[in-house]
Amino acid sequence: KRNDLSLSKKIEVLEEINFKKSQSEIANKFGISQTQVSRIKKNAESIRKEYASNGSLSRKRKRKSNFDDVDQAMLDWFQAKRAKGALINGAMIQQKAMEISKNFENCEKFIASNGWLYRWQQRNNLSFKIGHGESGSTDDSTCEIWREKTLVPLLQEYGAENIFNCDETALFYRAMPSGTLAKRGEKVPGYKKNKDRVTLLFCANQAGTEKLEPLMIGKSKQPRCLKGIKKCPIPYMHSRNAWMTRNIFRKWLVDLDLDFKRRNKKVVLFLDNVSSHKIDSLRLTNIILQFLPANATCKIQPLDQGIIRSFKARYRKQVIQEVLRFLEEATSEESLLSVYKKINLLTAMHFVKRAWDSVPMEVVKNCFKKAQFFPPEEIRDDETVIYDLEEFLNSEFEGLGMTDNDWMEFINLDEEEDIELEEENTTTIAEQAEEEDEDQDDPPHPPTINEVYNSLATIRRHFECNGGDYNALYNLEKEVEKCSIKRVSKQSSITDFFGIK
């Protein structure tokens, strides 16, 4: 009869293997066969990973579920939420499991019963505990230990220019404030969670001098609105649920590492301790990955201290301005829904880039400071971290008939959305058409050169009549001329215009 070993014993076997002991010697010591020793050695990576993720040390065999995809997806979701400091109970797990099961094939009979919940907990060595008032102090203690032993030495070794933080956020890119005005009897469109959302990945350094291009993750592989577009305003990738996956994060990370290598720049990148960020066999030359402690990222992740919120305030402002502009130009036959749908992924990319670029350096620095990413001597007890949100709301949204609370609710409406999913789980989800998009309208044809220059003439006349920075206009004209010259050179030579032979 085979002698099954517990997880802790398997770890001991791996330690013996590391000490270069023979398989026969190890087999005799633990009372198992050489075949079992060989199997443990072969599965060393998965055994260590299970041990590191707090797997049950006394369990001898890991029992499988009939719905492994749902189980794994729920574990990923649970770990991601706990990393953000969320308190989760059994009822929440059951409800989310029922929602996630609908994304998988052959899971029609899945029921998140109490029995399933108990077995899921046992398989993953989880227990739900009642939260007490001291939980905040426990997180504070964890943060302090991490800062003292991990953060401070890195701050001393690397300058503020080379300390980076990255984080994802969901964005309902078409969302409008609640209580939007409409004609009596007209249906007001709401944002559709399954289509009108993307995930954005942001990254910035402690000094606030470098805000990397945001990465947008959508659902569609080939969005209609990007047809014929040679260069998007920001990088775009896709996944089945518009969530971050390991494959997407790997590509982003490798590209970033190559960029830093070209610039001869070595950096430390602080990031969430979530499954989509944990990539096996990844070799980086110029980036050191430093994971934030689990269950405490809400307090020590700089991007979560106000940087992303500042971005969203600027993004939402652009959406409202665009909708108001469309409404001004709309004919009486156009519905609010048709106006609303004019904000497509390409428009959202432009808004994201402009909003991110306009987040001030001081906001970034102050949020890193609030997360205590500066040496202790640079942080005064009486120092107030200055956000520009309140000032921004007062100056930019004045007169639009909404309270500060309404605006903050509008800015944060997508804060609790899921943003990451294990890559392995996406392969079993039913596929849809590759060109699925947020709307069915075909993109407009590229403008002709005459149309472009007629538009420039209109803009120039607008500057002449209303005043403006002529240098900005001239720079725009130069860029248009560059593009036009490239386009014309491909189509014909100058002799074709004048009939020279």
The owner of tokens 């860029």 is: 479
pLDDT > 80? residue 260: yes
Q: In sequence order, which residues have a C-beta less than 8 Å from that of residue 409 and are 6 or more positions away?
A: 178
CA-nearest of 22, 5, 270 to 151 is: 270
Q: Pick the last residue of a domain from 15, 36, 62.
A: 62
Let me know if residue 439 belongs to a domain.
no
pLDDT confidence band for 83 (50 / 70 / 90): low
Q: What is the mean pLDDT of residues 219-233?
A: 89
Predicted pLDDT of residue 435: 43
Predicted pLDDT of residue 385: 44
Taking the C-alpha atoms of residue 300 and residue 146, their distance in angstroms, rounded to an integer, is: 10
Predicted pLDDT of residue 134: 36
The owner of tokens 């921004």 is: 392
Cα 121–chain centre separation = 28
**Shared domain check, 470 and 384:** no
| Other residues' Cβ atoms within 10 Å of the Cβ of residue 11 | 17
pLDDT confidence band for 419 (50 / 70 / 90): low
pLDDT > 50? residue 423: no
Let me know if residue 224 belongs to a domain.
yes
C-beta of residue 358 within 8 angstroms of C-beta of residue 312: no
Domain extent, residue 453, equals: 449-489
Q: Pick the last residue of a domain from 367, 396, 412.
A: 412
Q: What percent of the chain has pLDDT over 90?
A: 27
Predicted pLDDT of residue 183: 41
Query: Dihedral sign, CA of 133, 134, 140, 143?
Result: negative
pLDDT > 50? residue 335: yes
**Shared domain check, 210 and 346:** yes
**pLDDT per position as a tens digit, 290-324:** 999 877 777 899 999 999 999 998 998 888 888 77
**Shared domain check, 54 and 70:** no
Predicted pLDDT of residue 361: 94
pLDDT > 90? residue 216: yes
**Shared domain check, 266 and 216:** yes
What does 135-199 look like in DSSP terms, one character per residue? Answer: HHHHHHHHHHHHIIIIIHHHHHHS-GGGEEEEEEEEEETT---TT----TTPPPP---TTTSEEE
Q: Apex CA 476: angle with CA 475 and CA 480, to 5°?
A: 120
Predicted pLDDT of residue 269: 98
How many domains does the chain fold into? 4
Let me know if residue 306 belongs to a domain.
yes
**Shared domain check, 327 and 402:** yes
Predicted pLDDT of residue 486: 62
Predicted pLDDT of residue 456: 87
Predicted pLDDT of residue 499: 47
CATH code, domain with 100: 1.10.10.60
- For residues 50 and 121, the model is more confident at 121
C-beta of residue 77 within 8 angstroms of C-beta of residue 96: yes
What does 260-320 look like in DSSP terms, one character per residue? Answer: HHHTT--EEEEE---GGG--TT---SSEEEEEPPTT-HHHH-GGGGTHHHHHHHHHHHHHH
Predicted pLDDT of residue 315: 93
**Shared domain check, 314 and 220:** yes
**Shared domain check, 458 and 352:** no
Q: Pick the last residue of a domain from 62, 97, 112.
A: 62
3-state secondary structure of 211: strand
**Shared domain check, 341 and 198:** yes
Q: Which two tokens stand for residue 431?
A: 């596929």
- End-to-end CA separation in angstroms for the chain: 95
Taking the C-alpha atoms of residue 169 and residue 414, their distance in angstroms, rounded to an integer, is: 8
Q: Which of 103-117, 153-167, 351-365 is the least confident region? A: 103-117
Predicted pLDDT of residue 132: 41
CA-nearest of 8, 78, 84 to 47 is: 8
Largest CA distance in the chain: 95
Predicted pLDDT of residue 189: 52
Let me know if residue 17 belongs to a domain.
yes
**Shared domain check, 70 and 58:** no
Let me know if residue 431 belongs to a domain.
no
Let me know if residue 433 belongs to a domain.
no
Let me know if residue 421 belongs to a domain.
no
- For residues 61 and 492, the model is more confident at 61
Cα 339–chain centre separation = 28
Let me know if residue 151 belongs to a domain.
yes
Q: What percent of the chain has pLDDT over 70?
A: 70
Taking the C-alpha atoms of residue 107 and residue 71, their distance in angstroms, rounded to an integer, is: 11
Q: Which two tokens stand for residue 319?
A: 């959406």
Q: Which two tokens stand for residue 283?
A: 């070799």
**Shared domain check, 484 and 378:** no
Global pTM reads: 0.66
**Shared domain check, 86 and 51:** no
**Shared domain check, 212 and 123:** no
The DSSP bridge partners found for residue 164 are 205, 269
